[in-house]
Structure 1
Amino acid sequence: MSMHTARHRHRWWIAACAAVLAVIGGLVAVTEVRIAGDLLERDGLEAFYTQPADALSGDPGSIVKSEPLLGVPMDTRAWRIMYRSTDLHGDPVVATGVVVTPLGPAPAGGRTVVSWGHPTTGSAASCAPSRSLDPYIGIEGMRVLLDRGYTVVATDYTGMGTEGPDSYLIGVTEGHNVLDAVRAAQAIPAAEASSDVVLWGHSQGGQAVLFAAELAEEYAPELDIRAVAAAAPAADLKALMKTHLDDISGVTIGSYAFTAFSEIYADRGADIDAILTPEAVAIQPQMNALCLLTHIEELHEIAGPVVGTFTSADPTTTEPWATLLEENSAGGTAFGAPLLIVQGLDDELVRPADTEVYVEHAKSLGMDVTYRTVRVATHGTIAYLGLFDLVEFLDRAGV
């Protein structure tokens, strides 16, 4: 090797290292700015989530209040929103969330809107993703979606973030929240949101977007649901409950679900004292005050002593619980948009066999269903490890 060649390679190596360091430095700087913005936004946070007197007065999807966010993902603008929706009875409710949109010119006609349904984070107001220090971190695939030019809106669901009835696994309420979030995004001019919609959700959010797709034609006919995608959806609540009746997941998720159902369906005989043991009833206030992602060890410590003695009867065969679980399971009606289901084969919460049953049921309704599995994916990783399948699916759907 000549000295000239050696010097050339040495200079190239120095230049390459400098470029990498510049990129890393830029990312660090952007991250620092984002974190600084996130911290500044903590001031006055409670005031934002306090509803004004006219919060319930307005059309579904109309904005109650909004504020621009400071700590935003790179090359985006974002807003925290409070908007109007309706519950399963059609009564007015309020929901909160965030809207994120890329910088730069939108396509002619506006941006496709992705309405994201988040997985279980808890049921207390403080467990709302939009309240967290980084309100975007849980929007799985957000960067990929923004880079495709979409506007992303993420609801907290009613009863989280701000005052409202509990909506945990209440399919119709969640579905309305997901659809009205799109309308709320459209009400922010700078979001440049069109009526073209992609629904994307994970676990509880998978159930939410499946219900949104089933309800959209009647509830929000002005929206064009172009594609629906769900990662390990909680599609069959009876199967989910049956699988986990006697384990720690059943106690944790069941604590959120039985509390919600006993509140929402009290008029139909959903008495929590009639389905849970006295020991299980006693821990409900503690369980429901804690958030899944930040208090998982504490939740399991509280739940552990009642594993195996959580329910006093099988809710999948005992009324009114059996009917309520069935009513809040997806697949009650077909929808026209193409559907992608991605499922991790190492998922121990939403079992692959249960997802396959839903997929076959959806196909039997004449729906256009794509089913993809990922061998190494768990329940927690499937939404990320399924992103390649999501992008391929959206390309095929022409969105």
Structure 2
Amino acid sequence: MRIRGRGRRVGVALIAAVLALAALNGCSQALRGEEDVLGRPYIGAFYDDPPAGSGAPGTVVRQQIATGAPDGSTAWRILFRSTDLRGRPVLNSGMLVVPDGPAPAGGRTIVSWAHPTTGSAEKCAPSRSVDPYVWMEGLPELLQQGYAVVATDYTGMGVPGPDSYLIGETEGRNVLDAARAARGLLGAAASDRLLLWGHSQGGQAALFAAQLQPDYAPELDLRAVAVAAPATDLAALLRADIGDVSGVSIGSYAFSAYAQVYGAALDSILTPAAIAALPVMNDFCLITQNSALHRIAQPLVGRFVTGDPGVIEPWSDLLAANTPGAVPLPVPALVAQGLVDKLVRPSATAAFVAHEKQLGVDVTYDAVPGATHGTIADKALPAVLAFFSAHDG
């Protein structure tokens, strides 16, 4: 499936449909068919035997021309160095897509894309799909504006590494190191100018990347950050969603990641049945294995957690530590939110926007009537492109 014209719209529609259905109890034959279309794996040796050892964050250690790139562009699968929240070296996989033809004077501005939840297992990495471009929302339009677009899979996805699901600082470092990797691979064809763009989990990742950039990647000239339905107040997000199958699915990824990374005891928040189900659930990818994931998650609705993770320690502190907004964003931000989103609630996003404005951040809030969690990135894209153009001068 090529992402061009009508084909690209079909891909976006498939993702939007499955994301919307992911919030519902049960599944259908149509959903399983869409999972099959989106879940075809990349077949090749690129991810085999990834190199060990450390290196400067952003260093590209393996690259491969990827087939099926959007018309008028060239794409690579890449492996590159990054670090986790404690500064330990990790390896990341991802994609880089660049318009064909000569770069403008001074090089192309880089857009580092942060993807929404696709799972937490290695196989759930967007770049491991046979058609990785369909996961990069707004890719053709960004290419048409001359940007180089790079996307990390996040640590622990694509290639082995510690879990990073909703671990804001690890994800943020990954997003910034992807931009460094793009600069390293493209050389003089890339500038130091950087724009950040993310959706849902990727919204959290992009916001953390913006917060971290002045200290972690000061050589990058960050101009702006745009996010769609970002995961902001994580305690409120889990509290709102844990009573349905989507919340149980997201919770299975998040609680596992926090237990692995921080050493938090799962039996302090999850029921025995939930703990027993976690290994199976975490091996399923959201969207591409949604129906299988929900078969395990549905019986756990109402019997997944033993209390409110926003109150019980250490979960309350961990969720707060991974909620963006502890420090002001250093650049202007565009925050888009669908007003009929049932996963990331409009009230939570509006509260985040108000908080950032209180900190003195230049925030544009784009509340989109009729947009769902699955459709908001596409519906907000015209505003995102205009916002990027205004701040990439």
TM-score (norm 2): 0.88
1:294 aligned to which of 283, 288, 297: 288
How is 1:184-263 mapped onto 2 (pairs within 5 angstroms)?
Answer: 184-189=181-186, 192-263=189-260
Does structure 2 retain, via aligned residues, the 8 Å contact 1:276–1:310?
yes
Cα deviation for residue 232 of structure 1 reads: 0.3
1:334 — aligned with what? 328
Q: Which runs of 5+ in 2 are unaligned?
A: 11-40
Does structure 1 retain, via aligned residues, the 8 Å contact 2:106–2:188?
no
CA distance in 2, matches of 1:229, 1:175: 14
Deviation readout 1:133-192 (Å, 9 max, x if unpaired): 101101000111000000000100000000000000000000000000001011113782
2:22 — aligned with what? none
Q: Which runs of 5+ in 1 are unaligned?
A: 1-25, 32-40
Deviation readout 1:213-260 (Å, 9 max, x if unpaired): 000000000001111000000011011011112111110000000000
Does structure 2 retain, via aligned residues, the 8 Å contact 1:61–1:184?
yes
If asked which structure has higher relative contact order (CA below 8 Å, sep 6+), I would say 2
2:15 — aligned with what? none
* 2:236 counterpart letter in structure 1: A
1:50 — aligned with what? 49
Does structure 2 retain, via aligned residues, the 8 Å contact 1:171–1:207?
yes
CA distance in 2, matches of 1:221, 1:194: 14
2:34 — aligned with what? none
Does structure 2 retain, via aligned residues, the 8 Å contact 1:151–1:191?
no
Deviation readout 1:267-291 (Å, 9 max, x if unpaired): xxx1112210001111101110000
CA distance in 2, matches of 1:113, 1:303: 39
CA distance in 2, matches of 1:306, 1:239: 20
Cα deviation for residue 49 of structure 1 reads: 4.2
Does structure 1 retain, via aligned residues, the 8 Å contact 2:99–2:146?
yes
SS at structure 2 position matched to 1:251: helix
CA distance in 2, matches of 1:191, 1:374: 39
1:10 — aligned with what? none
2:167 — aligned with what? 170
SS at structure 2 position matched to 1:183: helix
SS at structure 2 position matched to 1:56: coil
CA distance in 1, matches of 2:168, 2:42: 31
SS at structure 2 position matched to 1:292: coil
CA distance in 2, matches of 1:376, 1:78: 34
Does structure 2 retain, via aligned residues, the 8 Å contact 1:199–1:209?
yes
Structure 1 residues 261 and 106, CA, compared in 2 at 3 Å: closer, same or farther? Answer: same
Does structure 2 retain, via aligned residues, the 8 Å contact 1:101–1:191?
no
- % identical aligned pairs: 55
Structure 1 residues 285 and 322, CA, compared in 2 at 3 Å: closer, same or farther? Answer: same
CA distance in 2, matches of 1:43, 1:303: 29
Does structure 2 retain, via aligned residues, the 8 Å contact 1:100–1:191?
no
Deviation readout 1:282-317 (Å, 9 max, x if unpaired): 110111000001111111111111101100121110
2:380 — aligned with what? 386
Cα deviation for residue 57 of structure 1 reads: 2.1
CA distance in 1, matches of 2:284, 2:167: 19
Cα deviation for residue 65 of structure 1 reads: 0.8
Structure 1 residues 112 and 228, CA, compared in 2 at 3 Å: closer, same or farther? Answer: same
Structure 1 residues 78 and 306, CA, compared in 2 at 3 Å: closer, same or farther? Answer: same
Higher mean C-alpha displacement, 68-77 vs 211-220:
68-77
CA distance in 2, matches of 1:324, 1:235: 13
TM-score (norm 1): 0.87
* 2:172 counterpart letter in structure 1: G
2:180 — aligned with what? 183
Does structure 1 retain, via aligned residues, the 8 Å contact 2:245–2:298?
yes
Which structure has the larger Rg?
1
Does structure 1 retain, via aligned residues, the 8 Å contact 2:343–2:373?
yes
1:19 — aligned with what? none
CA distance in 2, matches of 1:367, 1:190: 32
Structure 1 residues 293 and 386, CA, compared in 2 at 3 Å: closer, same or farther? Answer: same
Cα deviation for residue 56 of structure 1 reads: 2.9
Cα deviation for residue 43 of structure 1 reads: 4.3
Deviation readout 1:3-38 (Å, 9 max, x if unpaired): xxxxxxxxxxxxxxxxxxxxxxx999xx9xxxxxxx
Does 2:74 match 1:80?
no
1:15 — aligned with what? none
CA distance in 2, matches of 1:342, 1:191: 33
Does 2:276 match 1:305?
no
CA distance in 2, matches of 1:121, 1:186: 26
How is 1:26-37 mapped onto 2 (pairs within 5 angstroms)?
Answer: none
Does 2:267 match 1:273?
yes
SS at structure 1 position matched to 2:157: coil
Moved over 6 A (4+): none
Aligned residues: 361
2:32 — aligned with what? none
CA distance in 2, matches of 1:205, 1:43: 26
Does 2:132 match 1:135?
yes
CA distance in 1, matches of 2:93, 2:258: 21
1:353 — aligned with what? 347
1:112 — aligned with what? 109
Does structure 2 retain, via aligned residues, the 8 Å contact 1:49–1:161?
no
User: RMSD of aligned C-alpha atoms?
Assistant: 2.1
CA distance in 1, matches of 2:322, 2:195: 22
* 1:44 counterpart letter in structure 2: G
